[in-house]
Structures are given as structure tokens and as C-alpha cells.
């Protein structure tokens, strides 16, 4: 092993030089008994660089698979949604009478969850908290995919930490509702619970990594950038990180086949995206217009 700087008092900085390539077989101080992850308090570990390589390969491949399923799956669903005929003029009234008004209504719908607010205040409260928190948390995670990190991501990054707790609060509220309200429990299917539990587990493992048992995020970012640039770097093998990633990959895989499709689906809801102008303009779907032309 190169101990290039041992005994020197100063070292010139050379970019790209090997750094920290020190062996650390023995941990020299025994007086740090406070932390559970301190190696002195763990069983001896076998060296496993081949294990780490296999782990890295598995997760890199899983990420490619999950990304492909997510993008192609959601893309296909959007294609389907866009082609499904909406033969009737059925905007939920009172509805805007102009296209601009519809755009505004849709904007309110996806940012404020307006119709949910009118329907049920409790679901709106927890649901809205969850979605906004999820947005902040996801934006915070951009730092693992960008180098250098965009300055606005750096700026909002710390907010995402606290959004993590809001996310758990929102999800817990929604889960309690599903279990405690008998009417809702009766109509709940396994997938309804699965989504909430999955998201709660993702949030829980993430918060644990942030506040209790951190992983090596610099090494993890190297892995993530490596996955993106097809130049794989070893990933940290902390169980919490692996759990977190496995669950996220699961979420990506399940997205195009589940109720999570409400995200693209809301934009294709005829009752929300139609202009209320049946008297001004006759509503004819494309396929119906074709039949009329033929006749």
C-alpha cells in the first residue's frame, strides 16, 4: 500500500492522486464505546470485494430494469390514455368555459388538489401534505444524480430533510384512515395498503439513514453517477441503504401497473380537462367525426 504522505508535514495537492488508500485493520482507540456501528463492537468481517462487485452489478442492473419499466410503462399508459375516446361532454360543473380556464383549473387540481378539498378535508390535508413533502424529498435526492449539483437544489436540499417527517405524517394519516374508517376499510384492496406501506418503508429507511445510521453518501453518489454514465463504481453495502434502494426499485417497477398512475391520469380525466362549451361548439370525438365524413 502506498503511504505517500506518511511523516510529511505538508503535501502538495495533486488532482487525481490516490487518496485515502490506507489500510485500517486496527482501530486504535478503544474509548469510543458509544456507537453501535463502531467496528470494535462488530464481529470480524470477511473481506468481500467480489461480494461488493456482485452487489453493485445487481443494483445497477435493477436500476436499468426499473427505469425501463417505469419510462416505457408510463409512456405506454399515457399513449393509451391519449387514444381512449371521450365521446361525451362531461366536465364537472361549474367548469371553465375557455381552454385557458381549463388549464388553470388543472393547475389548481394538481397543485392544490381542489376537488379533493371540496370532497373531504381530512383526506385532502394528509394527501396534500404527503404529496408536497414527496416533491421536496424527491428534489432533494437530485443531488445524487447531478455533478455539480444545481444551486437551487443545494438551496432547498435542507428543507427536504424536514419534509421527510411531513411525508411520514401524511402517509400515516392516510393509513389510519384506511384502517379506522369502516366504510373505507370495506372498500380497501391489498394494493391500497401496499402503496402506503411501501412509501412508509421508503420514507422510514431514508429518515433512519439521514438521522441515525448514515451511509457513505459520497460513495453512493459515485455509484449513482456511475450507473447513469455506464461506468459502474462500487456501492456502499449498508443494509439500510440496500433496503431503501430495493423498495424504491419496487416502487418504480410497480408504478405503471398500479393506482399510482393517477399522476399522469389526472390530466386525461374528461370531467376535469374539458371546456364547458357544449352549446357554443358541438362535441365530436375523432372517431365519430370520421364516421360522419364517410356518411
Partner 1 sequence: MATRTLWLVGLGLLGLLAGMAVLFNSSNADEASTGNSPYFSPAGLPNAKAMVSATQACVEPLEVIRRQHGQLMQHQRDDTVHQGIRGSQHSLKGCINCHVTPNAQGQTLSIHDDPQHFCSVCHQFAAVKIDCFQCHASTPE
Shortest reach from residue 17's CB to partner 1, in Å: 8
Shortest reach from residue 32's CB to partner 1, in Å: 7
Q: Please, which residue, 42 or 93, has the CB nearer to partner 1?
A: 42
Shortest reach from residue 133's CB to partner 1, in Å: 19
Q: Please, which residue, 95 or 253, has the CB nearer to partner 1?
A: 253
Q: Please, which residue, 27 or 103, has the CB nearer to partner 1?
A: 27
Query: 69-100: buried (b, 16+ CB within 10 Å) or exposed (e) per residue?
Result: bbeebbeebbeeeeeeeeeebbbeeebbeeee
Q: Please, which residue, 129 or 254, has the CB nearer to partner 1?
A: 254
Cα 109 to its chain centre, rounded Å, is: 21
Shortest reach from residue 203's CB to partner 1, in Å: 15
- Is the bond into 94 cis (omega within 30 degrees of 0)? yes
HSE of 229, CA atoms in CB hemisphere, 13 A: 13
Q: Please, which residue, 3 or 186, has the CB nearer to partner 1?
A: 3
Q: Whole-angstrom Cα distance, residue 75 to residue 68?
A: 10
Give the helix ranges, DSSP H, for 142-285.
151-180, 182-187, 190-211, 217-228, 239-254, 262-265, 270-273
Shortest reach from residue 165's CB to partner 1, in Å: 19
Q: Whole-angstrom Cα distance, residue 253 to residue 67?
A: 8
Amino acid at each position: 500500500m502506498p503511504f505517500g504522505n506518511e511523516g510529511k508535514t505538508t503535501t502538495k495537492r495533486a488532482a487525481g492522486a490516490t487518496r485515502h488508500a490506507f489500510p485500517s485493520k486496527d482501530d486504535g482507540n478503544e474509548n469510543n464505546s458509544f456507537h453501535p456501528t463502531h467496528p470494535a463492537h462488530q464481529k470480524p468481517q470477511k473481506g468481500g470485494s467480489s461480494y461488493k462487485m456482485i452487489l453493485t452489478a445487481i443494483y445497477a442492473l435493477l436500476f436499468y430494469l426499473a427505469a425501463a419499466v417505469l419510462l416505457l410503462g408510463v409512456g405506454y399508459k399515457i399513449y393509451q390514455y391519449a387514444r381512449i375516446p371521450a365521446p361525451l361532454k362531461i366536465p364537472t360543473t361549474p367548469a371553465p368555459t375557455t381552454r385557458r380556464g381549463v388549464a388553470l383549473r388543472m393547475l389548481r387540481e394538481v397543485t392544490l388538489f381542489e376537488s379533493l378539498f371540496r370532497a373531504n378535508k381530512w383526506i385532502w390535508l394528509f394527501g396534500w401534505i404527503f404529496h408536497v413533502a414527496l416533491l421536496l424529498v424527491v428534489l432533494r435526492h437530485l443531488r445524487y444524480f447531478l455533478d455539480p449539483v444545481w444551486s437551487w437544489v443545494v438551496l432547498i436540499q435542507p428543507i427536504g430533510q424536514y419534509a421527510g417527517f411531513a411525508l411520514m405524517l401524511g402517509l400515516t394519516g392516510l393509513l389510519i384512515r384506511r384502517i379506522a374508517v369502516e366504510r373505507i376499510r370495506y372498500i380497501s384492496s391489498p394494493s391500497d395498503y401496499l402503496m402506503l406501506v411501501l412509501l412508509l418503508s421508503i420514507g422510514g429507511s431514508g429518515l433512519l439513514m439521514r438521522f441515525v445510521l448514515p451511509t457513505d453518501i459520497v460513495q453512493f453518489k459515485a455509484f449513482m453517477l456511475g450507473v447513469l454514465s455506464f461506468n459502474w463504481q462500487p456501492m456502499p453495502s449498508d443494509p439500510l441503504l440496500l433496503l431503501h434502494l430495493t423498495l424504491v426499485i419496487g416502487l418504480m417497477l410497480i408504478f405503471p401497473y398500479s393506482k399510482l398512475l393517477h399522476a399522469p391520469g389526472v390530466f386525461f380525466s374528461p370531467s376535469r380537462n374539458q371546456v364547458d362549451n357544449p352549446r357554443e361548439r358541438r362535441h365530436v370525438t375523432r372517431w365519430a367525426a370520421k364516421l360522419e365524413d364517410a356518411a
